[in-house]
Amino acid sequence: MKKFLVVLQYELKNYFKNKSYMISTIFLIVLVGIGMFLPRFFDMSGILGTPQKNESAQNVNESDNATSGQDSKESKNMIIYDKTGALKDMSLLNSIFKDVKWQIATNEDEVKNSVKEDKSEAGFVVNSLTDYDYYIFDKSMSDSNTYSFNAALTTISQINYCTTNGLNYAEVATAFNPTISSNEQVLGKDMSQNFWYCYILVIVIFMSIIVYGIMIATSVTQEKSNRTIELLITSTNSNSLLFGKVIAGAIASLGQVGAILCVAVFSYRINQAAWGNKLDMILAIPNNVLITFGIFGIGGFLFYAFIYGAMGALVSKTEDINKSAGGVQMVIMIVYFVVLAQLSNINGIVIKVASFLPFSSYSAMFARVAMGTVAPWEIIVSFLILIASIVLVGMFGAKIYRMGTLRYGNPIKLSNAIKFLKHSK
């Protein structure tokens, strides 16, 4: 235990004396901290889309001219060729397409050319009230012009029908579209609120494991390549060496990621009102989710860090680490993509199973706690499985580490290492 603490202290000192580690940590903490306090000192309504501090409701009402002047700056151009003549009165279109300046074309080619030459953002050729052609040059993912135009044509058809049949369109419209008020009460979790911070935290833990895992493997391999390893393993036992390295990596990782995350979350909480709750979906992380993330994140980190340490001992050159650690990286990547893909199906069987498997529970269980409904026994069982797996992987990793440390030359295949361990028993 004493020697483990010596290794831990030495390895931690290495991290804290590492300039890039310290500079990046301090820089990010300061940056995030300052960023969170900015709305207290600067008007950020332009960025946040919130009303300006000095822009009262009165001001909004009183200056129609100014507003329209501003609107004209942001308005888009669209072109229309109406073969039916039903859209002569543009008021309906103007009410639906609020920021659009309409140009009337005299033929279909004029519409196409205008769009092609980028004079108009989009163009419509109305063949009848139930058939039109839509022209667009580069269609964005959020393009909703056709929905709006469909609404316009539908309304015209409805008005025409009411007129033909002697009905009052306003009355019919009110009858068919009553104003409904709803009072939503989410008794479980609101996925629309939790999705983004959950998504970000899954990425954070994934990156931490990959980055620090490789650092641990590199540290082991470097000791092998500069031949320090022989002195180390003849000075203390290999368990102290591997456990010291891995726990130091976990503390350094937790220190860096945890500090940045805490600064972001807690300084946002202080400035939540100033931000107008705009970052709630990313930073209003409940304490129970943060704690679950911390506990399962550390567990998952340790699980993989021991494997990375052992993989580092199987090679003699740092450039060979990817050969031995490639399989582990692949598992981590698969877990990452599966969990992200299953965030929208948080109570599905895939993520439920993943939340109990030790190589995926670190992100799957945390995601379930954040976004779904999980019974306490599930969290406890998953955590116990994770702890037991960490102990087993730690012991196995230490054996591989011990076996691999004095074997130089070509990378040792994991299967050969396991065979050797069986044989040596």
Partner 1 sequence: MRLEVKDIKKSFGENEVLHGVSFDIESGKALGLLGRNGAGKTTTIRILMDVFHSDSGEIFLDGKKFERKNYQIGYLPEERGLYPKKTVIEQMVYLARLRGISKTEAIVNSRKWLTRLEVNEYEKKKLETLSKGNQQKVQLASTLVCNPDIIILDEPFSGLDPVNSQILQQVVRELISENKIVIFSSHQMSYVEEFCEDIAIINKGEVVLFGDLDKIKREYGEKQLVLSAVNYDLDELKTKCISELNDVLEITGKTKDTLIIKIRDHVTRNALLTAILTKNIEVEHFETYKPSLNDIFIAKVGEE
Q: Tell me the number of residues near partner 1 by CB under 8 A.
A: 20
- Chosen residue from 61, 165, 185, 234 binding partner 1 by CB under 8 A: 234
Cα–Cα dist 41/45, whole Å = 12
226 binds partner 1, rule: CB under 8 A: yes
Q: Taking CB under 8 A as the criterion, which residues in 5-64 touch partner 1?
A: 6-7, 10
CB-wise, 60 or 406, nearer to partner 1?
Answer: 406
The count of residues in the chain is 425
- Chosen residue from 90, 92, 204, 233 binding partner 1 by CB under 8 A: 233
140 binds partner 1, rule: CB under 8 A: no
**Residue 227 CB neighbours (<10 A):** 11
410 binds partner 1, rule: CB under 8 A: no
Spatial strand order in the sheet of 131-136 = 100-104, 76-82, 122-128, 131-136
Question: 20 is written with which tokens?
Answer: 């890039």
State the nearest-atom distance from the C-beta of 6 to partner 1, in Å. 5
Q: Cβ distance 74 to 99 under 8 Å?
A: yes
State the nearest-atom distance from the C-beta of 268 to partner 1, in Å. 39
Question: 306 is written with which tokens?
Answer: 């021991």
CA 378 to chain centre: 25
- Chosen residue from 100, 152, 229, 346 binding partner 1 by CB under 8 A: 229
State the nearest-atom distance from the C-beta of 2 to partner 1, in Å. 8
Residue 236 region by backbone torsions, left for phi larger than 0, else alpha for psi between -120 and 50, else beta: beta
State the nearest-atom distance from the C-beta of 17 to partner 1, in Å. 10
CB-wise, 48 or 232, nearer to partner 1?
Answer: 232
Buried b (16+ CB within 10 A) or exposed e, 307-326: bbbbbbbbbbebebbeebbe
Q: Taking CB under 8 A as the criterion, which residues in 236-275 touch partner 1?
A: 236
State the nearest-atom distance from the C-beta of 8 to partner 1, in Å. 12
Q: Cβ distance 287 to 378 under 8 Å?
A: no
- Chosen residue from 230, 291, 347, 373 binding partner 1 by CB under 8 A: 230
Q: How many helical (H) and strand (E) elements, i.e. helices and strands, does the chain have?
A: 19, 4
End-to-end CA distance of the chain: 26
State the nearest-atom distance from the C-beta of 253 to partner 1, in Å. 21
State the nearest-atom distance from the C-beta of 399 to partner 1, in Å. 13
State the nearest-atom distance from the C-beta of 5 to partner 1, in Å. 10
Question: 201 is written with which tokens?
Answer: 């935290």
Q: Which stretch binds partner 1 (CB under 8 A): 105-113, 182-190, 226-234, 254-262?
A: 226-234
Cα–Cα dist 363/199, whole Å = 10
Q: Which stretch binds partner 1 (CB under 8 A): 114-122, 139-147, 174-182, 220-228?
A: 220-228
Question: 231 is written with which tokens?
Answer: 């002195």
CB-wise, 86 or 421, nearer to partner 1?
Answer: 421
Residues making contact with partner 1 (CB under 8 A) = 2-3, 6-7, 10, 223, 226-236, 406, 420, 423
